[in-house]
Amino acid sequence: MFFDEHNLLSNPVWDLSGFDNLAELEVKVKTCNRCALRSGCRGVVFGEGSPKANLVLCGEGPGADEDLQGRPFVGRAGQLLDKILQVCGFERFSHAYILNVVKCRPPGNRTPIAEEIIACSPNLQAQLRILKPKILVLLGAAALQALLDPKGKITRERGNWVKKGELYIMPTYHPAALLRNPNLKKETWEDFKQVVAKYRELVDPGHYSAYC
């Protein structure tokens, strides 16, 4: 296979099926070297939030600020994400868990390529298996394509729930897209209002938000 330079398909060593808690998984994932991204970044950005979260948000990959701090969504897009969460009545460490499709910063903040997404997929899948969220928000096309539909278009899929087993998945725009094009904020707000409604339905009927 074209991406098997790192022996991804036949490498039985990267078996994460035995991990059943996030802290131990994080230690293991921080040793990951399955694609070339790891050699070009400072460190693995595993993700953060409440390990008991019913709501998981998935972005694309760490940027420069995230690589520097070792935390997801801490740059400008992250600050906007925190504001969106706040108006929804969510707080990243109590209601949510935030992670990315790839855990290592792609050079120059380019979009991760297929080989990198495939290489990192066991890490992401293991996180989701352990977290078992009720609601998964896909932030942008990379998350949509990695987790739902490799050919998915965010402009077409956003705002529509996809149900996989017990999990409700909401694709929406990436906060960085909102910074580039503020016209997308209105639709994004509609999507997050749906997330709040679903959270009330599935998790906490008394969930408070001053705005919706």
Residues that bind ligand URA (CB under 6 A): 59-63, 66, 72-73, 75, 77-78, 100, 176
Amino acid at the residue 210: A
Whichever of 25 and 99 has its CB closer to ligand URA, that residue is: 99
Q: How far is the CB of 68 from ligand URA (least distance, A)?
A: 11
Whichever of 11 and 125 has its CB closer to ligand URA, that residue is: 125
Residue 164: enclosing H or E segment and its boundaries? Answer: strand 162-164
Phi, psi of 129 (to 5 degrees): -65, -40
Q: How far is the CB of 206 from ligand URA (least distance, A)?
A: 30
Instruction: Give me 143's structure tokens.
Output: 């998350």
> Which residue has the CB atom at the shortest distance from ligand URA?
59
Q: How many CA atoms lie within 13 A of 67 on its CB side?
A: 17
Handedness of CA 21, 22, 25, 27 (dihedral sign): negative
Whichever of 66 and 115 has its CB closer to ligand URA, that residue is: 66
Whichever of 78 and 152 has its CB closer to ligand URA, that residue is: 78
Q: How far is the CB of 161 from ligand URA (least distance, A)?
A: 21
CA 82 to chain centre: 14
Phi, psi of 169 (to 5 degrees): -115, 130
